[in-house]
Each structure stands twice: as structure tokens, then as C-alpha cells.
Amino acid sequence: MRFDVFSLFPEVFQPYLEISILKRAIQKELIEVHTHNIRDWATDKHHTTDDTPYGGGGGMIMKSEPVFAAVESVLGAPPACPVILLCPQGELFNQSIARELASFDHLALICGRYESFDERIRQHLATRVLSIGDYVLTGGELPALVVMDAVARLRPGVLGDNEATDDDSFSEDGLLEYPQWTKPAKFRGWSVPEIMTNGNLGEQLKWKRQQSLIRTLKNRPDLLEKASLTDKDRKFLREYIEEQDSLTD
């Protein structure tokens, strides 16, 4: 899978790409990342990539000319791959979108800076606008890394021998992941739940599912509205909620 990233600060990406899972994926040629400095396509002597907004207002706006020139010079016109604009006003990025994007062999990511983009970039160049949360960052570089990391790990072979994404939080069933422990069984007087050490896989799987339901109910109850729940799941949640209500009466 190939990522083409367009940014005013491409040097931001290299340190993260040189560690851990993404580094191994690049070495194995499972993914490749190409960064491009938008400023290289600015035509004036100062390599200007921003200007004041029409209609007034604070901040500077990223100019359309260098962004279009950069993307089309690398990818062609129109680009044959999805072109994603990272912007706080975009669609909220989630695991479902990550799975969707992982089905492509080529993605382009445009990182903003300054106050905003010229709207023509959004309307006529980007094919999708994504946000990683309801907050504002100084640029789109961190969101681009988030998207690349989330998408790349879903590609075959990237996680190697530890390839197990079905139980991750926000996996296909839409629930948060259950709590997990490792050795030692007792640490500072805190013990791993007995059910996780009794060797009964059937009981453990049932308990994990229940813990996943409880954790989602407590921390992200909004996810339950779209989660894939069985009748047993719903019955367990009803009984759990009734039990908790009785404890507070």
C-alpha cells in the first residue's frame, strides 16, 4: 500500500516511520510512504503557500495553486486514488473508515496549516475530508499519522505474528475491548481475576464478552446503539443495569 502525504512540514513524519510496526512494514515493502513539501510547488520567490482571506477575518488561508500543483504533479489530474484532506470540519475518523480505506492500495493525504484551506481544495481536489476529533491542532500532520497508522495495521501482514485486530476496541462488533492482564498473576497485592487463570476457555470467552459490554456501557454508551449485539448481550446488559440501579437505591 502506498501513502502520498502533502505537507508544509514533511520532516515531521520520518521519526515516527522509523520505529516499530510501520518501520517493519516499510522494510518488508508492505507499505510505502512518500512525503512531499507543498512549498516546492509555490511559484513566487518567497515560496508563498498562504494568503489573507476574502471577506476579512483572522488567520491565513492555504492557497489553492501550490496544493493543486503538488497533488496533480505527483498523482496526475485527476488523481486516480482517494485524496483525503485532514481538517477539523471533516467527517469523524473511526475504525470503520479505517477498514474502508485499508481496502485501497493507494491513498493521498493533504495536511493543512494556518487558519484553513481555500475552499476550492475541499470542493475540487479532495475526495474526502476527515477529522480525528472535536478539537483544533496546529496542522494536519498528526492527524495524517493517525490515519496512516490505523489504516496500515489493517493491511495483511503488517502486524506479523501478532495479527489480531478482531478483538480491538471499535472492531466489527462496535464494542470497546475487554480488560487484559499478563504475568505476574499478583502484583503489589492486585491479582488477575481467577476466571482468567482457571484454564476454562469457554468461561473466559463469555466473561470477556461481558466485560466488553460493561466497559462500553460505562465509557462509551453511544457505541451500543450501533453495536452488533446478540439477544444474550441485551439480556446481560438489562440485568447488569438493573443490578447497578438496585445498588444505588
Q: Which residues are catalytic?
A: 88, 115, 153, 168
Size of the chain, expressed as the number of residues it contains:
249
Q: How many CB atoms lie within 10 A of CB 122?
A: 18
The β-bridge relationship of strands 61-62 and 116-117 is parallel
Q: How far apart are CA 165 and CA 147, in angstroms?
A: 16
Residue (of 226, 223, 201) closest to 214 by Cα position: 223
CB of 21 within 8 A of CB of 159?
Answer: yes
Q: How far apart are CA 202 and CA 101, in angstroms?
A: 34
Residue owning grid cell 516499530: 20
Measure Cα distances from 223 to 99, 207, 226, 242 in Å: 17, 20, 6, 20
Q: How far apart are CA 53 and CA 16, in angstroms?
A: 34
CB of 63 within 8 A of CB of 108?
Answer: no
